[in-house]
Structure 1
Amino acid sequence: MTILKPSTSPEPSPESLTFAELGINSALCSVLPAALKHPTRVQQLAIPAILAGRDVLALSQTGSGKTLAFGLPLLQTIHQQLESVSSSACKAQALVLVPTRELAQQVTMALQALASQLSPVPLKIQLLCGGIAQEEQLAELAANPQLVVATPGRLLDLCTQSHISLDSVKYLVLDEADRLLEMGFWPDVQKLMAMMPKRKQTLLFSATLPEALDSLAGKLLTNNPLRVEASTRNAVAAEIEERLYLVNKGSKAQALIALLKQYQWPQVLVFISARDDADAIAKRLLKAGINAAALHGEKDQTVRSQTLADFKAHRIQVVVATDLMARGIHVDALPVVINLDLPMSAPVYVHRIGRTARAGANGLAISLVCHGEMPSLTAIRNLTARELPLASLADFPVTDQPSERVRENGTDNKVAPKRPPRDKQANRRSLNKHSIKAFKSKR
C-alpha cells in the first residue's frame, strides 16, 4: 500500500490550489458554498486518488473536511453516469456506512445540499437509519436512490427483508472507520459486505485508527490502495486549547455549574459516559438556572433530532451527551467542549474534543479529572503524545486521596485510601440510623 504522510507527501499551497485542479468538474464546483474556496489537506490528497479509482484509507483530524473528501468524488462520478443512463433504472451505486443516526443525518444533509443543485439530472440520496419509520423509508427506496447513507443495523434489517439489494454497489465508504471495524459493528458490516460485489472501490475515513485495527483495515483495500495521513496519527487539532483540572469525584457537577456561570459560554457540549448520569446532570443544570438538555441513545429519535437542532440554533445553551455525539457531528463555531469524565478509550477523547475548533476555528476543551481516572489520562497522553498537565480549579480544593499500589508477591494490588477518622464516625452514625429504622419497621 502506498502511504502519504505529512512528512513525505507533496505540499501544494492551499491558498492557490482549487477544487478544479483536483479534478472536480465545473458542474460540482459551481454548487460549492462560497466560503469553500480551497480544499483542505485531506481533500487535496484523497480526491485525486478516489477519482482515479483507487482504494483509500484516509486519516485526518476531526473537522478537517473528510465528508467532502469522499463525497465530492462520489457525487461527480455518479452524476456523470446518470447523464447517460436513466435515473429510474439506476440502482444504488454508492453506500456510506456510519456508526450513529446523528452522523448519518449530517452526512446526508451535507451531500444532499450539493446533489439537489446538480442539473439537469437529479441525484437521489437516501438516509437509512433507526428511529425513522420503516414504511417511510421504503416509500423513498421505491424512487431508486443512487447513493445511500446508512447505519449498519437498519440497513441489514432492510436487506434481510429483501427491501433493498446491494448487488449494484460500486463504491463503499466506511466513515468513522475505526468504530465500524470494532466488534460492536464489525459483524454487521461483514454481513453487508458479503451482499456486495467483490469488485468495488472501498474508502475508509477516520480521525483515529488504533494499531490493532491496522491489519484489518488493510485487508479491505485491494485496488491499488493509498493510505493518506493528512496529519500526525491520532493528532489533536492545533487550534484546540486543552485545560485539565484535578477535582474531587463528588465535586464535578458543582465545578461544571461554576464554570458555566463564570464564563457564560453561548454553547457548551458536555460529555459524560453513562446515559443515566447525562439525564441527572442535565436536571441539575436546569435547577441551577442553566438551559440544558440531555442527549443519548435511549431517547426517542424525534427528541434526539430536535435537541440537536435546538442546540445548533442556540435555543439550548448546554447539551449533556454520551459518546453518541463524539464522532463527526458538526456544530458551527462551537466554542467549548467539557469532559465531565474521561472516556475509557483514549481515541474517544480525540473525537470528543474534536467537536470544537472545526474547519480551522479556535476552540477550548476542558476536562474535569479525578484521581480514579489517572489510568485513562495516561492512555490519552500516550496516544496523543501531549503532556496534558493537571491544574487546580479555584474554589474546588482536592481532598480525595489517590489510591495506593503495593507490591505483593510480584503483583500490583490496589489499596483504597484510609478515610479520615471524622468520616469513619459519620459512616458509623449513618449505619446506626439505618439499623434502628430497619428494626423499628419490623415491629
Structure 2
Amino acid sequence: MERTFFDLGISKPLIKGLKELQIKTPTEIQAEAIPVLLNNDTDFIGLAQTGTGKTAAYGLPILQNINPKKDHVQALILAPTRELVQQIQKQLFKFTKYCDDKIFSEGVYGGEKIDVQMKRLKRTTHIIVATPGRLLDFIERGDIDIKHIETLVLDEADEMLSMGFKQDLNKIFKYTTGTRHTWLFSATMPEEIQKIIRTYMSVDAVKVEIDKNSLVNANISHHYIVTSIKEKTNIITRLLDKYNNDRGIIFVRTKASAMQLTEKLKAEGFSVEALQGDMQQKERDKVMRAFKNESLQFLVSTDVSARGIDVNNLAFVIHHQLPDQLEYYTHRSGRTARAGKTGASIALIISGEEQQIQNLQKDLDIKFKQMTL
C-alpha cells in the first residue's frame, strides 16, 4: 500500500496545493524525510540526487512549521545557483496556494540589484531562499538577521562547495544560533561536506540515503554509439534530425566545445543555444526562458551550467563525451524522463571507451544498448 502525503502528516491545504501541481504520491526521499522533518527536533542528512523531489521533502515540513503570526525569518534555505533559488521559491509559493494564512518567502541572489531585493525584504518574510554570497552581503550590512531561524537547509551542498562557497557557508553558520536545526541535502559526500557535518551538525543527525540507482530511473533507456572524434558533430546532427519534433540537451565537457558545437549546429539550421560558464547572467536567463517556453528546441550545456535546469518533456540527452564522474552521468540522464515520461540517454564514445560503458552498467545497475544510425 503506497503512502500518501496525508499519511506522512502533511496538512490538507498543502495537499490541495500539491494535487493541483499533479503531485499525488510521495517520492522515496519525501516518504523518508517528511515524517522526521515535521517534528523539527533533529538535524538531518539526505543523500539524494537532483530530480528526486527534495524541494517538497524539506519545503513542506518548513511551510507546515512556520508560524505566520510571527513576522521574523524562521527558515533559511541555501542553494548554489540563482536558478535553483528561484525554482525553490516558486514551488514554495505554489504549495501554499490554499493555506489560510499567507506564508512569505523571499529570494536573495546575485545578478539582481541589491536595493530591489532590499525593498522586498522590508516586508514580512518568513522564509529566505538564497545563494550564499549575496546572503552574506545582506547579513554583513546588517540588513538581514538570521539569529532566530529555526531551520537551516543546505540544498545541493556539494555543488555549493564545488562553486567555491565554503568560506561563505562557514560565516553564515556563525551568524545563526546554536538552537537551529540543520538539514543538509547532497548528491555526493566529499570530505568537505563531512567536515561541515562534523563541525555544525549534531552527532544524532538522522541520515537518509536514496538509492542512487533508482534515480537513473526505469523510464530512461540508455544507448551508446561508437564513433570517431571527427564524426561526432555529424552523428549529433543526424540524431537531432531523428528527434526533429522533440526537445533535448547535448552535454559537453568544456566551454570551448559548447561554443563550437553550437555554432556548427546553428549553421545546419537547428534551433539551438549554448549554456556555459562565461555567459552573463542576463544571457543565461534569456536562453533558459526560451528553452522553458519551447521557443528554443535544443540546448548545448556544460555540466556545471546545467544545474538548476528543471524542464519537463525532454525526449533525450546526448553525451558528446561521457562525463568523468559517475554522478554526472546520473545528473545528466536524470534531466530526461521526468514526470513519468520516457526518455533516451545517448552517449557518443570512441573505440576504446567501451570499458566506461561497462563501468556505468555495473555501478549504476543499468543496461546500455548499442545504437547504430
Q: TM-score, normalised by structure 1?
A: 0.76
Cα shift at 1:387: 6.4
* Structure-1 separation of matches of 2:114 and 2:353: 42
Cα shift at 1:256: 0.9
Cα shift at 1:137: 0.9
Tell me which residue corresponds to 2:254.
Answer: 274
Tell whether the 8 Å contact from 2:154 to 2:185 is kept in structure 1 after alignment.
yes
Cα shift at 1:160: 2.4
Tell me which residue corresponds to 2:87.
Answer: 106
Tell me which residue corresponds to 2:188.
Answer: 209
* Structure-2 separation of matches of 1:18 and 1:57: 23
Flag structure 1 segments of 5+ consecutive residues without an equivalent.
Answer: 1-12, 395-443
Structure 1's 202 and 234: CA in aligned 2 closer, same or farther, altered over 3 A?
farther
Cα shift at 1:183: 7.2
Tell me which residue corresponds to 1:26.
Answer: 12
Residue 115 of structure 1: which of 96, 108, 116 is its match? 96
Tell whether the 8 Å contact from 1:126 to 1:149 is kept in structure 2 after alignment.
yes
Structure 1's 27 and 295: CA in aligned 2 closer, same or farther, altered over 3 A?
same
Residue 361 of structure 1: which of 341, 354, 367 is its match? 341
Tell whether the 8 Å contact from 1:62 to 1:237 is kept in structure 2 after alignment.
no
Structure 1's 375 and 101: CA in aligned 2 closer, same or farther, altered over 3 A?
farther
Structure 1's 203 and 378: CA in aligned 2 closer, same or farther, altered over 3 A?
farther
Cα shift at 1:239: 1.9
Residue 54 of structure 2: which of 62, 66, 72 is its match? 66
* Superposed counterparts of 1:330-369, under 5 Å: 330-369=310-349
Tell me which residue corresponds to 1:125.
Answer: 105
Cα shift at 1:264: 1.5
| 2:235 is the counterpart of 1:249 | no
* Structure-1 separation of matches of 2:356 and 2:189: 16
Cα shift at 1:180: 2.7
Residue 32 of structure 2: which of 20, 33, 45 is its match? 45
* Structure-2 separation of matches of 1:379 and 1:196: 43
In structure 2, the residue corresponding to 1:293 is in which secondary structure? strand
* Structure-2 separation of matches of 1:378 and 1:158: 49
Structure 1's 383 and 328: CA in aligned 2 closer, same or farther, altered over 3 A?
farther
In structure 2, the residue corresponding to 1:303 is in which secondary structure? helix
Q: Aligned AA for 1:215?
A: Q
Deviation per residue, 1:320-351 (Å, 9 max, x gap): 11224433432112211112122233312211
* Superposed counterparts of 1:171-182, under 5 Å: 171-182=151-162
In structure 2, the residue corresponding to 1:192 is in which secondary structure? helix
* Structure-2 separation of matches of 1:50 and 1:96: 14
Tell whether the 8 Å contact from 1:130 to 1:154 is kept in structure 2 after alignment.
yes
Q: Aligned AA for 2:85?
A: A
* Structure-1 separation of matches of 2:141 and 2:207: 36
* Structure-2 separation of matches of 1:267 and 1:52: 42
Deviation per residue, 1:270-290 (Å, 9 max, x gap): 112222322222221111011
Structure 1's 187 and 342: CA in aligned 2 closer, same or farther, altered over 3 A?
farther
In structure 1, the residue corresponding to 2:107 is in which secondary structure? strand
* Structure-2 separation of matches of 1:183 and 1:131: 16
Cα shift at 1:70: 0.6
* Structure-2 separation of matches of 1:100 and 1:162: 23
Cα shift at 1:241: 1.2
Flag structure 2 segments of 5+ consecutive residues without an equivalent.
Answer: none
Tell whether the 8 Å contact from 2:250 to 2:320 is kept in structure 1 after alignment.
yes
Structure 1's 201 and 155: CA in aligned 2 closer, same or farther, altered over 3 A?
same
In structure 2, the residue corresponding to 1:250 is in which secondary structure? coil
| 2:225 is the counterpart of 1:237 | no
Q: Aligned AA for 1:246?
A: V
Cα shift at 1:155: 1.5
Q: TM-score, normalised by structure 2?
A: 0.89
In structure 2, the residue corresponding to 1:341 is in which secondary structure? coil
Please tell me whether Structure 1 or Structure 2 has the larger radius of gyration of its CA atoms: 1
* Structure-1 separation of matches of 2:111 and 2:355: 36
Q: CA RMSD in A?
A: 2.6
| 2:300 is the counterpart of 1:313 | no
Q: Aligned AA for 2:58?
A: F
Deviation per residue, 1:83-120 (Å, 9 max, x gap): 4x3xxxx222111111112111111111122235432x
Identical pairs, percent: 33
Structure 1's 184 and 346: CA in aligned 2 closer, same or farther, altered over 3 A?
farther
